[in-house]
Amino acid sequence: MSDTVLILGATSAIARATAAAFAAKGNDLYLAARDKDELERTAADLQIRYGVKVSYGLFDAEAIETHEPFFQDVVQEMHGISGVVLAFGFLGDQLAARDFKTGAKIIANNFTGAASFLSICANYFEPLQFGFIIGITSVAGDRGRQSNYVYGAAKGALSLFLQGLRNRLFSSGVRVITVKPGFVDTAMTFGMPGLFLVASPEYVGNRIVGALNKSSDIIYLPWFWRYIMLIIKHIPEFIFKRMKL
């Protein structure tokens, strides 16, 4: 069986760091994203630095009809895959998302696109009784807040979807890991006011790969976000609705 990891949304900072952490372990990689030039550069870089085989192809999360043929092509080209990291996501403009045309795009990318692709992955790994699925959602999905509830709702739905997949695939030995990053120093957060305890993409990438050796199903990155979100989730709604979060 091939030891290739398929990474979707591979040109983001978190995905690049995760890909590097897999490559450092000796995994071959298949990188998928929309930007061909970036894919080519990132693939060359990982190949030179880590000496692993890196292939790449164009992938659009929102074009769900292309997911099945794309996945079959990857499996064929790499002679099977051993794991999938779903790292794409779209924050969008949260004010613009009050108009549902924008909101729908956020949901189409973060949830519908993700659910479509994960279904295909699950159907592939289940009969093999082998493999892993890592889905990157967000702490924003743990509670709806006025500042980003459309993105949060899509990520929250993805978290639930992953939870269901984990339940379904447990008996077949396929690992499903939900990753919930807090603030990470990426293009998404650069220049945002009010950030604190920002983690580097390298830290997040190493922890994501490291999670495969541990038993946790849901990992918060950095770890203390589990407790921040625990508090936030337990604020009673009659207080929470008055808060400007």
Partner 1 sequence: MATLIKPVSGWGRYPVQSCEIERPERYADLKPSSPTLIARGQGRSYGDAALNENGHVILTERVNRLLLLDVENGILRAESGVTLDEVLNAIVPKGWFLPVTPGTKHVSLGGCVAADVHGKNHHHDGSFGNHVLSIELIKADGSRIECSPENHSDIFWATVGGMGLTGIIGEVTIKLIHIHSSQMMVRHYKTPNLEQIFKLLENPTADDSYTVAWIDSLVSGRELGRGVVMCGHHANDDELPFRIENRYNIKKRHAISIPFNFPAFTLNSFSIRKFNAFYYSHEGKKTSPYLTDYDPYFYPLDGLNNWNRMYGKQGFLQYQCVIPDKTSFEGIKAILETLTNSRHPSFLAVLKRLGAESKGMLSFTMTGYTLALDLPIRDQGIFPLLNRLDQIVMQHGGRVYLAKDARLSPESFHTMYPRYEEWLNVKTLIDPENRFRSSLSQRLKIGETA
> Which residues of the chain form contacts with partner 1 (CB under 8 A)?
11-13, 35, 37-38, 41-42, 44-45, 48-49, 186-187, 190-192
Number of neighbours of residue 109 by Cβ within 10 angstroms: 21
Shortest Å distance, C-beta 194 to partner 1 = 13
Compare residues 50 and 70 and give the one whose CB is closer to partner 1: 50
Q: 13 vs 176, which CB is nearer to partner 1?
A: 13
Cβ proximity to partner 1: between 43 and 74 the closer is 43
Determine phi and psi for 179, rounding to 5 degrees.
-110, 125
Q: How is the beta sheet containing 132-136 ordered, strand by strand?
A: 54-58, 28-33, 4-8, 83-86, 132-136, 175-181, 218-221
Q: What three-state secondary structure class fits 94?
A: coil
46 to each of 20, 69, 132, 133, how far by Cα in Å? 7, 26, 21, 21
Compute the least distance from the CB of residue 49 to partner 1, in Å. Answer: 5
Q: How far apart are CA 6 and CA 179, in angstroms?
A: 16
Between vectors from CA 174 to CA 117 and to CA 172, what angle results, nearest 5°? 115
Closest CA to 114 of 149, 154, 72, 174: 154
Following CA atoms 224, 227, 229, 232 in sequence, which dihedral angle do they give, to the nearest 10 degrees? -130
Least distance from partner 1 to the Cβ atom of residue 201, Å: 9
**Would you say 34 and 58 are in contact if contact means Cβ atoms under 8 Å apart?**
yes
Instruction: Compute the least distance from the CB of residue 62 to partner 1, in Å.
Output: 19
Q: CA 96 → CA 124, 147, 204, distances in Å?
A: 37, 12, 29
Closer of 14 and 97 to partner 1 (Cβ): 14
Question: Of 192 and 231, which has the nearer Cβ to partner 1?
Answer: 192
Q: How far is the CB of 177 from partner 1 (least distance, A)?
A: 25
Query: By C-beta, is 187 or 239 nearer to partner 1?
Result: 187
Residue 47 CB, nearest approach to partner 1 (Å):
9
Q: Which of 219, 183, 198 is nearest to 91 (CA)?
A: 183
Name which of 77 and 93 has its Cβ closer to partner 1. 93
Least spacing, CB of residue 12 vs partner 1, in Å: 8
